Structures are given as C-alpha cells and as structure tokens.
C-alpha cells in the first residue's frame, strides 16, 4: 500500500463524484485543495462535518481553496445523503463527494487503516498546493469530528510561508507575529522585513506579519 508523505506529489486519479466525473489534478487546477475522507454515507459525525464545510465554503473560496470529500459509497447514495446534510445542517452542499466504492482511491492515499477498521476509511485530511504537492496530512479517529477552523489556520500559514521567508509559531492566528526563517541573514532582515525585527534569541527572530 502506498504511503502519501509531505512533499510528495498527490496521486492523480479519475473518479465519479456527486457533481460528475473528474480528473483530480485537472480539477484542482491552480487552486489549493483539501481532500478529506469519510467512513461511509449517513454517518452522524461526517454529516456535521460536511455541513460545516458547506457553511465555511466562502472562507475556502476567499483563500483559493477547493474542497472535495470522499466516501466509499456510490453517487446515488451520496445524493441522498446530501439531502439529509442540507436539511439537518441548514446549508447547501456545493462541493463534490467522490464515490470510491472499490476503495481504489482510499488505498491510493492510504486511508484504510486495518487496525482501526478493515472495511471503512479513517478520517483523513490532505492539504494539496497548486503544484499538486502534499502540504499536510492528518488522520482522525471515527469518534472525533474535524476542526475546520484549524484547517483554515493551516491554509493561512501555508499560503503566508509560500510567499514570504517566514514560519508561524505555536497557536499562531492570522495577524499575529511570525518567525523569520533561519535562512535569512541578520544583515538582510531590514530590507526584507521593514516592519522591524524582535530578536529573542539568535535563532528566534520575530516580525509582524508581512502581508498585514
């Protein structure tokens, strides 16, 4: 079984979804992407998750992020489940759910963890950048719903660090100070970071968020 690691090119595939057939890399295009899996349709925690993503969709759009879910049931089942999600979560699901009945994509992305379940996918999350590289992987147990505020925070951090020579510290939120990359020499800081620099230790240099 393949293991998808950080920095790998996300495996490409073709699949049927609740919104038609897609070629994954082509569908991502020049956007960022969140791919997240579900053990099965009509499961309670996943129903709340899909509803949350639908309600958060404007936040993902604002960040140029496409969202796509996966479940090991078929398209017809997905469409019935979407009706339930819309009804119970007071939303409109406006993103595709992949039909992975043969578990081909689940195997490709190592979403099947036999010691957790030999028949259902775990709750996996992959954040994929526009160059199709995997930037984050997370696996949640079946009993714990995902925190989509955290996934938005990670997207903000990844997009910030993709454009500036910075990293984000623990519990960072958009607008907080950031860490200057160790690759930046002290003599170059003033030019690169005109908002200033706080040297806490030679290896720990903070600056206001560059794009704020």
Q: Answer yes or no: 46 catalytic.
A: yes
Domain regions of the chain by residue span? 14-146, 164-207
- For the segment(s) 14-146, the CATH number from 3.30.720.210, 3.40.30.10, 3.40.140.80, 3.90.1150.10 is 3.40.30.10
Please give the Cα distance from 185 to 36 (Å, whole number): 39
Looking at residue 111, what is its pLDDT?
83
Within 63-147, residue ranges assigned H as helices are 75-89, 104-108
d(CA 108, CA 149): 27
pLDDT-based confidence at 25, cuts 50/70/90?
Answer: very high
Average pLDDT over residues 184-190: 94
Contact 209, 178 (CB under 8 A): yes
* Residue-level pLDDT at 2: 63
List the structure tokens of 86. Answer: 């819309």
Under 8 Å between Cβ of 24 and 15: yes
Strand order through the sheet with 198-201: 166-167, 178-180, 204-207, 198-201
pLDDT at 35 over 50: yes
* pLDDT at position 164 over 70: yes
In the prediction, which pLDDT does 118 show? 45
- DSSP designation for 199: E
pTM, entire model:
0.91
Q: Residue written as tokens 């938005």?
A: 152
What pLDDT sits at residue 110?
Answer: 86
- Fold (CATH) for 164-207: Antioxidant, Horf6; Chain A, domain 2 (3.30.1020)
Average pLDDT of the chain, as a whole number: 92
pLDDT higher than 90, residue 117: no
Average pLDDT over residues 1-12: 87
Alpha carbon of 160 to those of 47, 163, 168, 199: distances in Å?
31, 5, 9, 21
What region does 168 belong to: left with phi over 0, alpha with psi -120 to 50, or beta? beta
Would you say residue 148 has pLDDT above 90? yes
Burial of 65 (C-beta count, 10 Å sphere; 0-12/13-18/19+): buried
Catalytic residue among 28, 46, 65, 151: 46
User: How much is the pLDDT for 38?
Assistant: 87
Return the closest-CA partner of residue 17 out of 58, 71, 63: 71
């Amino acid at each position: 079984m393949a293991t998808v690691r950080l920095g790998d090119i996300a495996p490409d595939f073709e699949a049927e979804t609740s919104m038609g057939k897609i070629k994954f890399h082509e569908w991502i295009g020049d956007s960022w992407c969140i791919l997240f899996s579900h053990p099965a349709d009509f499961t309670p925690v996943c129903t709340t998750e899909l509803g949350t993503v639908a309600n958060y969709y404007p936040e993902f759009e604002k960040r140029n992020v496409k969202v796509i879910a996966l479940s090991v049931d078929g398209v017809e089942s997905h469409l019935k489940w979407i009706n339930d999600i819309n009804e119970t979560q007071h939303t409109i699901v406006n993103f595709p759910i992949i039909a992975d009945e043969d578990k081909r994509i689940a195997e490709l992305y190592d979403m099947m963890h036999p010691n957790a379940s030999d028949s259902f996918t775990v709750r996996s999350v992959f954040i994929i950048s526009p160059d199709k590289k995997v930037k984050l992987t997370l696996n949640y147990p079946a009993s714990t719903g995902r925190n989509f505020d955290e996934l938005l925070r990670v997207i903000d951090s990844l997009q910030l660090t993709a454009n500036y020579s910075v990293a984000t510290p623990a519990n960072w939120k958009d607008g907080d100070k950031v860490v200057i990359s160790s690759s930046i020499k002290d003599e170059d800081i003033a030019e690169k970071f005109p908002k200033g620099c706080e040297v806490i230790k030679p290896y720990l240099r903070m600056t206001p968020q560059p794009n704020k």
